[in-house]
Structure 1
Amino acid sequence: MKIEWIEDFLALIDTGTFSQAAERRHVTQPAFSRRIRQLEEWLGVELIDRSSARLTLTPHAQSYEAPLRDWLARLYAMRSRIRVDAKRGPRAILTTQHTLTVSYLPRLLRYFRLRAPDARLQVSSSDRSDCIRHFQRGEADLLLCSELEGTPLFLDRSDIARAPLGMEQLIPVCAADRLGRPLFDLERETHLPLIGYDPDSFLGGILATPYQLDLQRRYDVEIVCETAFTIGIRELALAGLGIGWLPHGLIEEDLEAGKLVSLLEILGGPMLVVACYRKQSEGAPTVDTLWQLISATPPTV
């Protein structure tokens, strides 16, 4: 199988005719048709319904168009990485959850750039569970994540090193009214609109008890939104939709500007630890360099 056959097939889908696709691929139409046939023979299925007067894909072709595009894009991305690594040396891959990508990671990257400007780093941002899985599979050299205080990850893994970087409070907040007061008066109102986390998410799990349970005992709670997207909860809180718990590092500027009001004294909130992990026996020199910086004097959370 040749990569050009996949490119031919995708060009055929994009243009809609064999003649236009052949022109785009800079080959004659008979040669282009032969390459489509060769791809079909290699796959063992027909991709084009030749009984139709117009270009029509078979059900197999329709089902696998998106995976083929994704595979081709990944292949070229890997080729680019190999070429760059060969010219500039290996790089470290750091995976971190979306919230930290916005709040803490920029400070950490500036610290890296100042202390080790030649160290090459690729950042992968994802959901916390996906980050942990990527790290465990060896798809990332460093894992930057939040933990509930007192419950570190990989507690029994002697082959994984941990560097705690600091702590931050998970704070219940809501938008402010024109006088800078909480939009929702928890001392007078019994109705409480909650912008909640998905129960299966990390933050949803640690807030379930005792915080949200206590909330439901004291107020008539209405869940106005439920999501695992922390940054989305911040935007909805700013819009005045309801009350939500957010990491202090994500909303520090909003609190200082008076856009959000803390309800911590009334509702409470857990402490989170931001920590970084690496596998002891793995990693290129770049990983060693960055880990030394993480273990030395990293920026505060």
Structure 2
Amino acid sequence: MHNIETKWLEDFIALAQSQSFSRAAQLRHVTQPAFSRRIKVLEQAVGVQLVDRDAQPVRLTESGLQFLPVARKVLSQLQGGIKQLSQAGAYLPRINFCAAHALSFTLMPELVQWIRRQEPGFMARTEAANVDVGLSALRKGECDFLLAFHDPQSWVKLDANLFPSCQLGWTRLMPVCKATRHGKPIYQLGVDQDVPYLAYTAEAMLGQAVRERLRSQVGRLSLKKVYETAMAQGLKEMVLAGEGVAWLPELTIKHELESGQIVLCGTEQWVAPLSICLYRAASIEKPMVEKVWQLICQRYQ
């Protein structure tokens, strides 16, 4: 089954009601080309044509008429479920975490589980985001804690009085690639020419750490960028497919390293240490946030 975004369903319902791509796009606050693309993607996801574009005004096909009540029911049930959850959670104080993508599915679940065993009287919410987005949310008071990698050479320096931090551990940012059946790297940094490079986007914190590592070392590497994304998980999938070399946090590829699917493809000079830190805004005064902060500091310091 293809993933279907709720905004596509809302687009489809708006189009059914307005019978006009331009009017529906206005109602959905997007450009008409973008709106048309989203309707097309929805049709591809469900596998049938939902809209008769040749008709004036635009009308739904037979399949579209059958799908319309389904779309309305799905959105209604989803909205109702969210409302029930919100009401159920209203009796517990909520703590909002923001976490780097790579940490949101590795360390974050373990951390929340441990906190709840010590202090079950709260509801936790985690949002995965790039570190710059998380930092902005922390400064604006939109999240209570930010879990992020910290590279002393490249990351933004925060005022410790305004944004105290607690170091939760360490990992390494490693240049890795797919292994041959004999356990050898299919690419070798410093030896091969034009090694296909799977990179982070410019705004990604891990990308900044990699660039600093490359600049700080004397040796020159022959890299040819062939792909980029902000997410380590996306680079990991490309590495597993044998598409090139990427610098990945060791904690995100532990299983693949142990199984021999992925191997280090360069010397230790290209490995960058990364600390894992939890940040909070000192200006936020919430009793539960303070209690959780004290629990974490006692455990890790």
TM-score over 0.5 for the alignment?
yes
Pick aligned residue for 2:111 from 92, 101, 108:
108
| 1:99 match | 102
| 1:173 match | 176
Residue correspondences, number? 248
How do 1:209-288 residues align onto structure 2 when only pairs under 5 Å count?
209-211=212-214, 217-219=220-222, 221-265=223-267, 268-288=270-290
Matched, 1:64 2:27: yes
| 1:83 match | 87
The alignment partner of 1:168 has SS state of strand
Deviation at 1:231, TM superposition (A): 0.6
Q: Structure 2: state its 5+ residue gaps.
A: 1-9, 31-71
Task: Answer whether contact 2:190 2:221 (CA < 8 A) is retained.
Answer: no
Task: Answer whether contact 1:163 1:295 (CA < 8 A) is retained.
Answer: yes
Q: Structure 1: state its 5+ residue gaps.
A: 1-9, 18-47, 49-54
Using the alignment, how far apart are the partners of 2:147 and 2:78 within structure 1? 24
Deviation at 1:76, TM superposition (A): 7.7
Using the alignment, how far apart are the partners of 2:97 and 2:179 within structure 1? 37
Using the alignment, how far apart are the partners of 1:61 and 1:14 within structure 2? 5
RMSD: 3.4
Residue type at the aligned position of 2:144: D
State the structure with more CA Rg: 1
Using the alignment, how far apart are the partners of 1:266 and 1:150 within structure 2? 17
| 1:45 match | none
Normalised to the residue count of structure 1, the TM-score between the two structures is 0.70
Deviation at 1:158, TM superposition (A): 1.8
Residues 1:288 and 1:148: Cα distance change in structure 2 (over 3 Å): same
The alignment partner of 2:28 has SS state of helix
Residue type at the aligned position of 1:229: M
| Higher alpha-carbon deviation: 74-83 or 241-250 | 74-83
The alignment partner of 2:253 has SS state of helix
Task: Answer whether contact 1:120 1:286 (CA < 8 A) is retained.
Answer: no
Normalised to the residue count of structure 2, the TM-score between the two structures is 0.70
Q: Percent identity?
A: 25
Matched, 1:199 2:196: no
Using the alignment, how far apart are the partners of 1:128 and 1:73 within structure 2? 33
Residues 1:84 and 1:188: Cα distance change in structure 2 (over 3 Å): same
